[in-house]
Chain A
Amino acid sequence: MSYVRPKFRHPNLPKNELGYTQDYYEGSISTLCAGCGHDSISAAIVQACYENNIEPHKVAKMSGIGCSSKTPAYFLNNSHGFNSVHGRMPSVATGANMANKDLTYIGVSGDGDSASIGMGQFVHVVRRNLNMTYIVMNNGCYGLTKGQDSATADKGSKNKAGNVNEFQSIDLASLALELGATFVAQSFSGDKAQLVPLIKAAMKHQGFAFLNVISPCVTFNNNVGSTKSYDFVREHQEATATFDLVPHKSEITTSYDEGTTKSVVMHDGSLIQLHKLDQKWDPQNRFSAMTALENAKSKGEILTGLLYINEQSQDLHNILNTTDTPLNKLTQDVLCPGAEKLKDINKSLS
């Protein structure tokens, strides 16, 4: 583990369309355990923001409490972050989003933060279709309090002390689908090739984009018998399809056989390209996504990749019919009705 990030950068590092190199998107040095899955996800977020040509200061990083919720400090140093209250990130993100619709909201949470203490807020932010990317760094245990089982630990999974979890687990991806999330994906912290384009697409999605990322806890839940260990996930990961995100106006270069490919046009004109498609699965059909998830689970597999997308959905601002100007930019002359108007109100009350 290193404590200082070297300042030196190669002068010929590639730059994105905004002229920034990827290190411009980095954060402070992580204080998580060496080998923690969460650090890989932070790195994937850095790369996704770089490749999506995002102005870092126009991102708001939201989190609750826990190991995962510490990560906003480890990416995008030029973005404001809010490490809030355990299980309450969805509400803080909702308020922040209402105040300024023009920012990109990345929420980071854990399985304790979302599936236990914050379950109430999680389900409600899904049903409001808040325009944000919501990443659960899911390791099936409570890391910061030294390894207790969480609600996403699979039934029968063994923890480090050798105890077997006897309780049913909560499958957050299934739950998000059930609740009508408009973008649902599942991935693995060790599969950067899949994770980066998924995060990029999630950030472009106009609405609630949910990413359940299995992210092994090297210290407390990486043992034999755990279903959230690196080895177990690598062995049991099954993808819905390969996933590519082609930015708006880019040329499509690869070609695949008819019938195994599907494209989805996103809000900003970008194209999601899915190849080697499972024939029984349609990413725009919620039922087929649910079935695919259940089928995988019954076979003991972890289904990853895009599960479902609805590009036609209305986000919370659309539903509330808020004005195009961010609410935090409206000025007093627009907001305050003034003394004349108060005279009328007084009249109606006399």
Chain B
Amino acid sequence: MVGLDKVNDFVVRFANVNGTGSASANLLFTKSIFRMGLFVCPKNFFPSNIQGLPTWYEVRVNDKGYLGRRDGIDLMVAVNAQSMLADIKSVKPGGYLLYDSTKPLHSDYIREDLNYIGVPMMEMCNKEFTDPRQRLLFKNIMYVGALSALLDIEFNVLESLISEQFAGKEKLIAPNIKALKLGSEYIKANYKFPLEIRVERRNLTDNMIMMEGNAACGLGAVYAGATFAAWYPITPSTSVAEAFGDYCHELRVAEDGKHNFAIVQAEDELAAIGMAIGANWNGARAFTATSGPGLSLMNEFLGLAYYAEIPVVLVDVQRTGPSTGMPTRVQQSDVMEAAYASHGDTKHILLFPSTPKECFEMTADAFDLSEQLQTPVMVMTDLDLGMNDHVCAKLEWDDNRKFKRGKVLNAEQLEKLERYGRYLDVDGDGITYRTIPATHPTKGAFVTRGTSRDEYAVYTEEGAPYERNMERLLKKFETAKSYVPAPQVYNAENEADYGIIFYGTSTQSAEEAIDLLKEQGIHLDALRIKSFPFNQTVEDFIDAHDKVFVVEQNRDAQLRSLMLIEIGASPKKLVPVLNYEGLPITADVIVKKIEKKLSRVIKKANKLQQNPIS
């Protein structure tokens, strides 16, 4: 049987049982390859459950810089009996299966076109370790050791990662290394190694990091000076608040031990955003994080913050909807809801990060934008970006950067004013001047409310001032176009016939799809949306092409709908390319769907040529 000769280009999948400590072993595997200077793209596929159900971890390895998921499994680490039959079926012909050979495999599990690598993991663990928990945990470390021999991972890289991981708990270093060696030595004694699929050091990732988007959002909030977070537990956004808390405990505790921050786990999402709004109203930078179901609950408050013009930052880590949907699977399906959240006429600022670095930057930017524009800003990330490790450029912070607090009047400024008008458009940009409670003894106080009022914040039910105010809010939204991050334009000139638009975690796979299509002679101009409202560049890009493919991970082509509504783009022009099964989109899917749509276009064109309409 011929193996797959692929250096630095393969996919390994681990089939584990959740709650057995496999996560840290799998991360060790991924990080060792990353440390050898290769690109890794790890994805967790996990159930909405804590212990006992199947969970998968997949790593794509390559040296071309591709960071999206790829279909096709070259090597399966099958250590979950429950899912093993299906796991074996999912491996590519000619691929490899690493399994625990303590017990012989049933004939049902044998595929003629696979290479079987058996390591008696349980037997060796039971022999070498006495503690029952250790026996379970070290089985995972042992398969990493076996993989190190099979895939040619540098053993000293693994050793140093173990030493770093257990710094301060040195007693644990030796048994971990022992488990690694047991796995590695068993392979060396019993199998030909390394395999045809293997890694070679490339040192391509020296200036890169591996990080989860949620941690980056939490850290971005710390850097932006957020002092208060209110949240309600919900997958996949929980780790945003937790990361904020962890980083605050590390970076924001004063010398006297007191906290320069406050975090409240709210009773529900209604309260979480209410608290964040209350704190912003009172002059602190505050945020909340949630996912689809929570966003639905936050709608009423988002309308209040929009109408009463109170800054608030919301990190929405999107998951599969509607309703509870698939809570541990990814989608980009909150876009429409977020853009127009609340009853009445509302429009909200959205930011679309595509890497942890952008999660960090855009969360920090969101606080500036939210205070400058005095309105909610939502950072639209997703489960894939939030909960998986992603390779990206190192995080950067410019120490000259100053918090942009927007138009806030201080006591001296208030003192000089004859009459303060909270909703008076002094500068003509739709953005009015805020005051923070307790600024001045007699000037600047007013009642913030969700009911209509005039320019001086005086309650009114008259039509004219209501309409003036709504028009001004629209003007402010226009102003926002010059504040929000501009889209990324990939080609200086729009020369191709077709364009492609994508955003968020569809980016990596879309970029790869562009390369793959180019190999077939199909050239696409590309644009990555980073924010809503869209600015002129988006409109120009659509105008410059006959057809524009819009790649999204939802059923209803939600960003496309936004472009139809807000830009007035032609529905015939914007061709949706959708993937919403819950797993991160791949370049293959994008390529296939674009090919299919193009062949239709080409067929139609040919038909027209053959039967010209006279």
Contacts and interface: CB of A to CB of B under 8 A. Distances in A.
A55 B273 CA distance: 29
A79 interface: yes
Nearest to B437: A80
B326 to A, nearest CB: 27
B437 A73 contact: no
A346 B254 contact: no
Most buried by A among B283, B284, B395, B441: B284
A94 B264 contact: yes
Contact of A345 (B219, B259, B263, B438): B219
B282 A99 contact: yes
Contacts of A43: none
Nearest to A24: B442
A81 interface: yes
A4 interface: no
Given A85-B450, A98-B275, A323 B210 contact: no
B278 A322 contact: no
B286 A85 contact: no
A63 B448 CA distance: 10
B148 to A, nearest CB: 20
B280 interface: yes
A13 interface: no
Interface string A168-187: 00000000000000000000
A320 B271 contact: no
Contacts of A335: 222, 225, 227, 252, 260
Given A57-B437, A78-B441, A98-B275, A345 B282 contact: no
Contact of B222 (A56, A77, A321, A337): A337
B447 A72 contact: yes
Given A92-B275, A95-B279, A81 B262 contact: no
A323 B274 contact: no
A350 interface: yes
* Size bracket of the A interface: 35 or more
Contacts of A99: 227-228, 278-284, 286
Contacts of B450: 83-85
Contacts of A346: 209, 394-395
B456 interface: no
Interface in B238-294: 251-252, 254, 256-264, 266-268, 270-284, 286
Contact of A88 (B209, B270, B283, B399): B270
Most buried by A among B271, B277, B437, B459: B437
Interface in B434-477: 435-442, 445-451, 459
Nearest to A81: B447
B522 interface: no
A77 B283 CA distance: 20
B191 interface: no
A336 interface: yes
Interface stretch (A202-210, A247-255, A324-332): A324-332
B109 interface: no
Contacts of B402: 332
Contacts of A56: 441
A91 B162 CA distance: 45
Nearest to B400: A339
Most buried by A among B262, B398, B436: B262
A93 interface: yes
B115 to A, nearest CB: 34
A100 B262 CA distance: 11
Given A57-B442, A82-B448, A339 B399 contact: yes
Contact of A336 (B205, B211, B225): B225
Interface string A81-110: 111110010111111111110110000000
A334 interface: yes
Contacts of B147: none
Given A345-B219, A346-B209, A124 B271 contact: yes
Interface in A95-153: 95-100, 102-103, 120-121, 123-124, 128
A58 interface: yes
B374 to A, nearest CB: 15
B284 A124 contact: no
B223 interface: yes
B433 to A, nearest CB: 14
A1 interface: no
B276 A95 contact: yes
A85 B304 contact: yes
A349 B222 CA distance: 17
B396 interface: yes
B230 to A, nearest CB: 6
Contacts of A124: 266-267, 271
Nearest to A62: B278
A100 B394 CA distance: 35
A341 interface: yes
B227 A328 contact: yes
B301 interface: yes
A85 B301 CA distance: 7
A340 to B, nearest CB: 8
Contact of A339 (B230, B251, B271, B397): B397
Contact of B459 (A73, A123, A349): A73
A322 B257 CA distance: 9
A92 B445 CA distance: 17
A102 B225 CA distance: 20
Most buried by A among B210, B266, B435, B449: B449
Most buried by B among A73, A103, A335: A335
B168 to A, nearest CB: 14
A98 B277 CA distance: 11
A65 B205 CA distance: 56
B36 to A, nearest CB: 12
Given A79-B445, A81-B448, A95-B276, A327 B262 contact: yes
A132 B179 CA distance: 57
B7 interface: no
A248 B282 CA distance: 30
Given A77-B445, A91-B270, A82 B278 contact: yes
Nearest to B226: A335
Contact of A92 (B205, B219, B262, B277): B277
Contacts of A90: 271, 274
Given A81-B448, A95-B274, A98-B279, A342 B397 contact: yes
A82 B258 contact: no
A121 B270 contact: yes
A337 B223 contact: yes
A334 B248 CA distance: 12
25 contacts: A77-B445, A78-B441, A78-B445, A80-B437, A81-B447, A84-B448, A85-B301, A88-B270, A91-B270, A95-B281, A95-B282, A98-B262, A99-B282, A99-B283, A121-B271, A321-B257, A321-B258, A323-B256, A328-B227, A335-B222, A336-B225, A337-B251, A337-B252, A338-B399, A350-B205
Given A95-B230, A99-B279, 19 more contacts: A57-B439, A62-B278, A72-B447, A77-B445, A80-B435, A80-B437, A84-B450, A94-B274, A95-B278, A96-B278, A99-B280, A99-B286, A100-B438, A103-B282, A120-B270, A323-B258, A328-B283, A339-B396, A350-B205
Interface of A: 55-58, 60-62, 72-73, 77-85, 88, 90-100, 102-103, 120-121, 123-124, 128, 316-317, 320-324, 327-328, 330, 332, 334-339, 341-342, 345-346, 349-350
In order of increasing CB-CB distance, the 5 nearest A-B pairs are A95-B278, A91-B274, A99-B284, A95-B275, A99-B282
